[in-house]
Structures are given as structure tokens and as C-alpha cells.
Amino acid sequence: MQIEPRILENDIVRLEPLTGAHREQLRPLAAEAELWALTSIRGDGEHFDAWFDLMMTGQAHGDQVSHLVRRQGDGAALGHSAYLGITPAHKRLEVGWTWYCAAARGSTVNPACKRLLLGNAFDNGAERVELKTHHKNLRSQNAMLKMGATKEGALRHHLLCWTGEWRDSVYFSMLRDEWPAARAGLDARIAGAD
């Protein structure tokens, strides 16, 4: 498995590997405090630069590829999503740190992004793609199930969040042989939104 930073795009979104030039495009989108309510670290307001630097550090170490999510057509920045925990020896990675501005949530943006990220991962040798979320983040859990991921369980008190609350991390995964059915489902959802 070899995952390299590169532009991924379809008719709905363009995912650009994160660079320093994206900092000020993401800053106003990250200002919405609701985005960070169920995350382990904050990225709004005064916390944005530390969050952005963390994303860039992961990318520099080669175990993460972050993306600015941009809408095709007008080129508006919509949010962020990343490959994390890239583990070539075990043909495994995670898709995470996904968040979108309010205008993009509940639209075809997330299915379009997941179509690109999952497709690229499996096309480049992944056997397993992991996803995880806060036990209280029912929106994300429902989205993962809707796209065809399998719920595996939860790691209790897995992360201590910036709020001081313990997070149980709910794990989902998709395997290579499950991808064709999930891909068809995502394609149908995206086509049905036209």
C-alpha cells in the first residue's frame, strides 16, 4: 500500500493536500465552536493554529495526509478530511479529522469526499480503512453506517477530551471486499442528489 499526497476530485468536491497556503482558508470555517464539541482537541479561535500545525506535522512525518475540501464550481473551501495512521506494512489506514462548514453538512459533500478517499485508499493497496468517532457523535456514526462501514465496537475511556470528558471511541471499518457494494451505494447517493 502506498498513499501519497495528491489532488483527488470528482464533480462535487476537490480534495487538496494540505499546505501552509490553506491555513487562512480554513481558519474562518473552523471558528464554529460546535465543530469541536466532541473532539479530543480544539481547533476554533485561539486553538486553530495549534490544530493546523498538528495536521501539518502528521503530514510531514508521513503517517497522515490532510486535505482541504473545496467545492467544485465556485472553489469555496468547505472543510477538512485526512488519512491518518497510514500503516503500509498492514495495508491499513484511517479516514478521520473530517469536518465541514455548516453550509456543507447534510449535503452530498461528505458522500463525495468519502467516495474519493475510500476509492483512492483501496485503489492504492489498502485492505482495511478505519473510521472512529466520539460515542456521543451519533451524526457521524449514522453517516458511517449509511456508507456501508461495519461498526466494530468501542474503546472505553480511549481519549481525554479538551473538555475534561472521557471519550469512548466507536470504531468502524471497511474491508477491500466490502468496497464495491459501498462504492455503488455512494455513487447512487451522489447521482440521486443531482
pLDDT in tens, 76-86: 999 999 999 99
- Estimate the crossing angle of helix 179-192 against helix 109-123, to 10 degrees: 150
> Regarding beta strands 77-87 and 128-134, do their DSSP bridges make them parallel or antiparallel, or are they unpaired?
unpaired
What radius of gyration do the chain's Cα atoms show? 16
pLDDT in tens, 147-165: 999 999 999 999 999 999 9
**Banded pLDDT at 193 (limits 50, 70, 90):** low
pLDDT in tens, 22-78: 999 999 999 999 899 999 999 999 999 999 999 999 888 889 999 999 999 999 999
Report the mean per-residue pLDDT for the chain: 95
Residue 186's DSSP bridge partners are: none
Q: Which residues of 54-75 are buried (b: 16+ CB within 10 A; e: fewer)?
A: ebbebbeeeebbbbbbbbeeee
Beta strands in the chain (DSSP E): 8-9, 13-17, 65-71, 77-87, 92-100, 128-134, 150-160, 166-175
* Domains (range + CATH), the chain: 8-192 (3.40.630.30)
